[in-house]
Amino acid sequence: MKTVLMVGRAHPRFRERLAPHFRLLELPSARPEDVTPEMAETVTGATTFNDFKPPLFDALPNLKIVANFGVGYDGVDAAYAAGKGVMVSNTPEVLDEEVADTTIGLLINTIRLLPQAENYLRAGRWVKEGAFRLSPLSLRGRHVGLYGLGRIGQQIARRLEPFNVKISYHTRSPKPDLSYDYLPTLEALAETVDTLIAIVPKTPDTHRTINRSILRALGPNGVLINVGRGWTVSEPDLVEALRAKEIAGAGLDVFDDEPNVPAELMEFDNVSLLPHVASASMITRNAMADLVADNLIAFLGNQAPVTPVPECRGLLD
Ligand code: NAP
Ligand code: 8YV
């Protein structure tokens, strides 16, 4: 029986799906120095929660595939893996609708202050003080800009259509099959819209691209929503822009140094913060775990993996 190493968390569904096919070992620390001689000799497949760096690849010389739990695989060095002939897979599509649903929820929560309104009720203030204050912002009349219009971005856009908001987007290449207005730069998008939703991957090109000047371009009625990666937003610039009222509010599901969230962000009443829960329903997380298992079962059974990452597709030629 081949051996699969569960690196980081061992999702209960991994055990259920993988145990009939493989001998399972665990490496909760994800640290290469904790790899035992037995692991080094026997492990041919691994699961990961987006944390698999070159020293861990090097510590497992018989590794053939790393199956990431998550569509974003920025914590897995896929180029290094490809260079060593190791396959990497991720979990696209199965989470698109859940993440898009959460994005719409976060957008409305941010604009209409619904979490604050519920806290007001729960604190008994409705009875004592009367109606909750009117939200200064509304979705009515907004122009939404999507920074990223891939699998998830397109699901967000589809959900926005019945809200009767204008929709524009910026990506590196225009999507001719889609009818939304394309803006060739992020700056042009921020100048055009008043609501910016970021759903781009963590790459060198997206690092802190949402900075003070983009936020100023969004303007004093502007709302920023980030569901991609915290890396994309300069958090210090966001705090400064909120303090200076250069934008009107922000909703964030992702942060630069998770699970640490800058204390300054918690000061603002016009900011809605979520602990990276966009895909976090049982049904969707189980679907992601199933796809991790399907990739391992296929590839270690000498079939093509279901969802290889682009960097490793050349290994299949
Ligand atoms: P995808 O299908 O690969 O879409 C990525 C989009 O970003 C594409 O439209 C791409 O268009 C655009 N893009 C990439 N680099 C860009 C750049 N430098 N400038 C402008 N646009 C750029 O990915 P996806 O499945 O939608 O997922 C997107 C990301 O969301 C993931 O990588 C992950 O980090 C994040 N995510 C977060 C959660 C959460 O729980 N909060 C859940 C799932 C995913 P072009 O190639 O034309 O530029
Ligand atoms: C993670 C995500 O998978 O898929 C992604 O890229 O960010 C999430 O769905 C989740 O945080 C598990 O760690």
Give the pLDDT of residue 107.
Answer: 99
Q: Do 192 and 264 belong to one domain?
A: yes
Q: Do 149 and 84 belong to one domain?
A: no
- 316 band by pLDDT with thresholds 50, 70 and 90: very high
Query: Does ligand 2 lie within 6 Å of residue 95's CB atom?
Result: yes
Question: What is the mean pLDDT of the segment spanning 243-260?
Answer: 98
Q: Do 133 and 260 belong to one domain?
A: yes
Give the pLDDT of residue 157.
Answer: 98
Residue of the CA atom closest to atom 13 of ligand 2: 49
Let me know if 33 is a catalytic residue: no
For 219, the 3-state DSSP assignment is coil
Q: Do 118 and 257 belong to one domain?
A: yes
State the virtual CA torsion across 230, 234, 237, 241 in degrees, nearest 10.
Answer: -50
- Cα 170 to Cα 316: distance, rounded to the nearest angstrom: 32
Give the pLDDT of residue 213.
Answer: 98
Q: Do 120 and 252 belong to one domain?
A: yes
- 177 band by pLDDT with thresholds 50, 70 and 90: very high
Backbone phi, psi, residue 260, to 5°: -80, 130
- Cα 260 to Cα 275: distance, rounded to the nearest angstrom: 10
Q: Do 161 and 229 belong to one domain?
A: yes
- Cα 5 to Cα 24: distance, rounded to the nearest angstrom: 6
Q: Do 249 and 294 belong to one domain?
A: no
Q: Do 40 and 117 belong to one domain?
A: no
- Cα 269 to Cα 151: distance, rounded to the nearest angstrom: 32
For 189-237, the pLDDT digits (tens) are: 999 999 999 999 999 999 999 999 999 999 999 999 999 999 999 999 9
What's the chain's average pLDDT? Answer: 98
Do residues 142 and 165 make contact, with C-beta atoms less than 8 angstroms apart?
Answer: yes
- Cα 232 to Cα 180: distance, rounded to the nearest angstrom: 23
State the virtual CA torsion across 170, 173, 176, 179 in degrees, nearest 10.
Answer: 0
Beta strands in 81-199 (DSSP E): 87-89, 143-147, 166-170, 181-182, 195-198
Give the pLDDT of residue 97.
Answer: 98
- 167 band by pLDDT with thresholds 50, 70 and 90: very high
Both structure tokens of 85 = 């002939």
Both structure tokens of 131 = 């109606």
- 295 band by pLDDT with thresholds 50, 70 and 90: very high
- 175 band by pLDDT with thresholds 50, 70 and 90: very high
- 305 band by pLDDT with thresholds 50, 70 and 90: very high
Q: What percent of the chain lies above the pLDDT cut of 70? A: 100
- 126 band by pLDDT with thresholds 50, 70 and 90: very high
Residue of the CA atom closest to atom 4 of ligand 2: 70
Give the pLDDT of residue 311.
Answer: 98
Question: pTM score, two decimals?
Answer: 0.98
Q: How far is CA 151 from CA 34, 58, 77, in A?
A: 37, 33, 22
Q: Do 127 and 239 belong to one domain?
A: yes
Residue of the CA atom closest to atom 6 of ligand 2: 72
Give the pLDDT of residue 103.
Answer: 99
Do residues 247 and 215 make contact, with C-beta atoms less than 8 angstroms apart?
Answer: yes
Let me know if 258 is a catalytic residue: yes
Q: Do 62 and 205 belong to one domain?
A: no
For 21-34, the pLDDT digits (tens) are: 999 999 999 999 99
CATH of residue 202: 3.40.50.720
Question: What is the mean pLDDT of the segment spanning 81-89?
Answer: 98
Q: Which residues make Cβ contacts (< 8 Å) with residue 152, sequence separation at least 6?
A: 71, 95, 96, 99, 100, 103, 199, 227
Choice among 17, 142, 229, 285 that is catalytic:
229
- Which residues form the domain of 111? 96-273
* Ligand 1 binding pocket, CB closer than 6 Å: 71-72, 92, 95, 99, 148-153, 170-173, 199-203, 205-206, 227-229, 253-254, 276, 278-279
Residue of the CA atom closest to atom 10 of ligand 2: 70
Q: How many domains does the chain have?
A: 2
Query: Does ligand 2 lie within 6 Å of residue 8's CB atom?
Result: no
Give the pLDDT of residue 144.
Answer: 99
Give the pLDDT of residue 234.
Answer: 98
Give the pLDDT of residue 124.
Answer: 98
- Cα 184 to Cα 204: distance, rounded to the nearest angstrom: 19
Q: Do 73 and 187 belong to one domain?
A: no
Q: Do 124 and 88 belong to one domain?
A: no
C-alpha 249 to ligand 1 mean position (Å): 23
